[in-house]
């Protein structure tokens, strides 16, 4: 049992170290994009698949409530299913089609190889001329193919959905802290 626990922690730590070495530039780009969009009055929508759904909800809550600072809320919406939706697969995409606008951002948390709900939401975001930030693992399936030149993929160096979700939670806090630092504390890179 102790060996299992040690290996479990070691795997997570190794992914964290690898991410810190490979994701600094893309995380900075994502934070800059979010800051410029928020300062321009745009909205941030978040969605997720499977295990990542709670991360998407938490990310929107951090943008609304604050991560480290007491501050005014940012316009953020966590997208999710509705019991009245005819098709569970289309529920997020329909929300993007209804309220997404050109210049808004969709942050897609993807931990599974195939995520039809999130892929449909990304396609809807593209049709609304929104920018996408996809936070994925190394086996992101079709998600990468949906991204255009202005979009950003933060690819966590892991294939295990549980490890990806752990890092997505960390990254959601990091992004919100970077946003707050840049907007309210005049933080530089």
Instruction: For 2-184, give the CATH class.
Output: alpha beta
State the distance between the two ends of the chain, measured CA to CA, in whole angstroms. Answer: 43
**What is the CB-side half-sphere exposure of residue 71 using CA atoms within 13 A?**
20
Helix (H, G, I), strand (E, B) or coil at 139: coil
What number is the average pLDDT over the span 79-96?
71
Tens digits of residue pLDDT in 27-86 = 999 999 999 999 999 999 999 988 899 999 999 999 999 988 899 999 999 998 654 444
What number is the average pLDDT over the span 78-104?
79
Distance, in Å, from the CA atom of 94 to the CA atom of 120, rounded to the nearest integer, reads 9
Exposed, middle or buried: residue 76 (CB in 10 Å: 0-12, 13-18, 19+)?
Answer: buried
Q: How many Cβ atoms sit within 10 Å of the Cβ of residue 73? A: 9
pLDDT for position 187: 59
Where along the chain do its domains lie? 2-184
Distance, in Å, from the CA atom of 128 to the CA atom of 93, rounded to the nearest integer, reads 11
Confidence label for 88 from pLDDT (cuts 50, 70 and 90): low
Exposed, middle or buried: residue 72 (CB in 10 Å: 0-12, 13-18, 19+)?
Answer: exposed
Confidence label for 114 from pLDDT (cuts 50, 70 and 90): confident
Tens digits of residue pLDDT in 122-166 = 999 999 999 999 999 988 777 888 899 999 999 999 999 999 999
What number is the average pLDDT over the span 162-188?
91
């Amino acid at each position: 049992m102790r060996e299992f626990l040690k290996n479990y922690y070691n795997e997570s730590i190794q992914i964290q170290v690898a991410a810190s070495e490979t994701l600094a530039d893309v995380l900075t780009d994502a934070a800059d994009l979010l800051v410029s969009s928020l300062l321009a009055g745009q909205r941030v929508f978040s969605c997720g698949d499977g295990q990542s759904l709670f991360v998407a909800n938490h990310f929107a809550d951090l943008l609304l409530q604050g991560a480290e600072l007491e501050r005014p809320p940012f316009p953020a919406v966590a997208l999710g299913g509705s019991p009245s939706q005819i098709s569970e697969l289309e529920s997020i995409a329909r929300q993007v089609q209804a309220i997404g606008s050109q210049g808004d951002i969709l942050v897609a948390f993807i931990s599974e190889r195939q995520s039809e709900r999130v892929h449909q939401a990304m396609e809807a975001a593209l049709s609304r001329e929104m920018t996408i930030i996809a936070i994925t693992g190394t086996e992101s399936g079709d998600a990468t193919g949906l991204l255009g030149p202005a979009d950003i993929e933060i690819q966590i160096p892991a294939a295990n959905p549980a490890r990806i979700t752990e890092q997505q939670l960390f990254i959601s806090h990091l992004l919100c802290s970077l946003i707050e630092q840049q907007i309210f504390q005049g933080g530089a890179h």
